[in-house]
Amino acid sequence: MHKNTRITTATAGAIVLGLLAAGCSSPAPEPPTTTEPATGRIGPIDLSSVCPSPIVVQTDWNPTSEHGHLYQMLGDDPAIDTRKKAVTGPLVAAGGYTGVELEIRAGGPAIGFQTVSSQMYQDQDITLGYVQTDGQIVASATLPTVAVMAPLEVSPQIIMWDPETYPDATTIADIGKTDAVVRYYAGSPYMEYLIGAGLLQRDRTDGGYDGTPATFVASGGADAQQGFSSSEPYIYEHEIAQWARPVAYQLVADAGYPNYTAALAVRADALAELDACLTLLVPVMQQALVDFYAQPEPVIDLILEAVEAYDNGIVYTRGSAEFGVSSVIEDGVVSNGADDAVGDFDPARVEELLGIVRPIAVDAGLTPAEGLTAADLYTNAYIDPAIGLPAE
């Protein structure tokens, strides 16, 4: 059976409420350790005096093209560790070695499907981790994080359906007016938003989605399903022989849920210590994102090599990876947003999401931190406003 590349992203990298609750009881973390960087001539950007080495980034899933900006920063001949499910190499920027190493760790099955925030508190060697803003809100009382860069301007979360069965549907609200059952991962706050906003009917939703295409295919187009704009539309049309036709979809963001996903964050208690590092590192990451989307193929080669080496049953093809690059640009998932910079956060969006998610979390029995404000969840202090994707 074809295995969806996103089979448990909602569980691991985002916000399944049960797992967040479990993550709250994590054991006390050990102090961070730092190893000496590999020897080599340091280029125009020197991180060695202000950053740990390696800089460890915990991702939310197996390697995918959405992580391409991270792999873009690796120098020649990075090492793939099949035991740790990590890729390590010299961190390069502006054409030279920065004096530190970069370690990119896989998430999902590699960390037992824990949330990234809980992993960051268990292992303080992790410098940065992928978080979602709604997940930050829910976990803020016990696993507080501060996001410092948003590689994705818009969440790729979608609800998808069969355009042949529902030819007049163009939005999630349109699907909510039909008899379609919408399947999703239980515990996802965005679904509570869609139901609470009257866009979907609770009795026509099913939280039993398991990440496989079997139920969607078996319905013959009668049902709808969650997915990601960067993967499912390609997979269902080109890689699932039992379906092999297009799907229609709408971004959940376009239905009024302004979540940031796959944002790079640090533990709240580590922000001051990492301040000098982040001042130099975040602009490097911004530029790496711009460079990756300008010429993605070399990095895609490395990502596919890592997926093959990890050999954990997750299928990820070159076609899917290339679609993941082109689709995020076409859908505006990766963009400069309302300004000329890439990676910054819109304060109004974060404030709006906090207003949406806080009551959802409370209803689920997971109360956010007392007095939590939008400004507690992110900072644009390290973003270089001059670094952005080129205008089309």
pLDDT of residue 360: 97
According to DSSP H, which parts of the chain are helical?
Answer: 9, 17-23, 68-71, 116-122, 133-139, 172-176, 189-196, 214-218, 232-238, 275-294, 297-310, 318-330, 347-363
pLDDT of residue 237: 98
Map 280-304 to HEC letters.
HHHHHHHHHHHHHHHCCHHHHHHHH
Q: 274: which 2 tokens?
A: 């990492």
pLDDT of residue 328: 98
Antiparallel, parallel or unpaired: β 55-58 and 96-105: parallel
pLDDT of residue 142: 97
pLDDT of residue 135: 97
pTM of the model: 0.90
Measured at the alpha carbon of residue 349, what is the angle toward residues 343 and 351, in degrees to the nearest 5?
A: 120
Contact 322, 330 (CB under 8 A): no
Domains 9-154+259-376 and 157-255 share a fold: yes
Kindly report the CATH class assigned to 9-154+259-376.
Answer: alpha beta
pLDDT of residue 344: 98
Q: How far apart are CA 316 and CA 320, in angstroms?
A: 6
Domain chopping of the chain, boundaries: 9-154+259-376, 157-255
Topology at the third CATH level for domain 157-255: D-Maltodextrin-Binding Protein; domain 2 (3.40.190)
Residue stretches of the chain with pLDDT short of 50? 1-39
pLDDT of residue 40: 72
